[in-house]
A = this chain, B = another copy of it.
Amino acid sequence: MSRARQTVTLTADLVILTIRDGVLSVLLVERENEPFQGRLALPGGFLRGDESLERTAARELAEETGLDAGALRLRQVGVYSAPDRDPRRPRVVTCAYLAIAPDLPVPVAGSDARAARWVPVAEAATAGLAFDHDLILADAVELARTLLQFSTIATAFCGPEFTIGDLREVYEAVWGVGLDKPNFHRKVTDADGFVVPTGGKRPSPSGRPAALYRAGGATELVPPMTRPRLGT
């Protein structure tokens, strides 16, 4: 019974999100070759010899951003296996991974010299990415939005030290909403193991300096952050 036991090529694609100037942005590379030459695409690469897909994704992440995949957590977004998703040839199946990064100084030029840059997600979605990367990006952003509700992952968007205001801006950028400052402050500082004060303060150009925090030990966020409902 070896009927149609087909072999395929596997890739791992990365959706690396960060916040730049208060705008949710994604790391994209410009394609050098056909198909989709000159179009923007998610960074990614082929599965190699003895790797799992997670390892492929971690390796690509290091190559594209210089970030240690051990520090950052990769989460599976999903598998994309439509037979014609790669026009070159059938049967290139990809698994997408989500990574959340602090605001990096600049995307490290990939070791493979591709021009990588941060693009606001809203812009990327309208511009039209290569392959089915529009769909992948949309799924990944939706996953990130959900993770913000139930996990403490928002701190991954921040540096090692941050203010509650910084954290609030993360939620506002990813969710695309405005949040009540006083209630947000209370909720975050009350949640167990979400943030812990470092004792330091960050002066502001004009106004009271904000206390600094670092990420706490918890991964799950209880009670969850409630995302404002639109339709209601």
Contacts and interface: CB of A to CB of B under 8 A. Distances in A.
Contacts of A81: 10, 47, 52-54, 95
A5 B7 CA distance: 12
A108 interface: no
Given A5-B46, A7-B8, A222-B229, A53 B83 contact: no
Nearest to A146: B150
A4 interface: yes
A202 interface: no
Contacts of A207: none
A50 interface: yes
A87 to B, nearest CB: 15
Interface string A58-97: 0000000000000000001011011100000010010100
Contacts of A76: 78-79
Contacts of A3: 48
A52 B79 CA distance: 10
**Main SS of the interface on chain A?**
loop
A193 to B, nearest CB: 12
A4 B51 CA distance: 11
A93 B76 CA distance: 15
Contact of A83 (B5, B52, B83, B90): B52
Interface in A125-180: none
A7 B212 CA distance: 49
A1 B222 CA distance: 47
Interface string A7-23: 11110000000000000
A133 to B, nearest CB: 17
Contact of A6 (B4, B6, B48, B54): B48
Contacts of A203: none
A182 interface: no
A8 B8 contact: yes
A228 interface: no
8 closest cross-chain pairs (CB), A and B: A7-B7, A53-B81, A4-B48, A52-B81, A5-B46, A50-B83, A79-B95, A52-B82
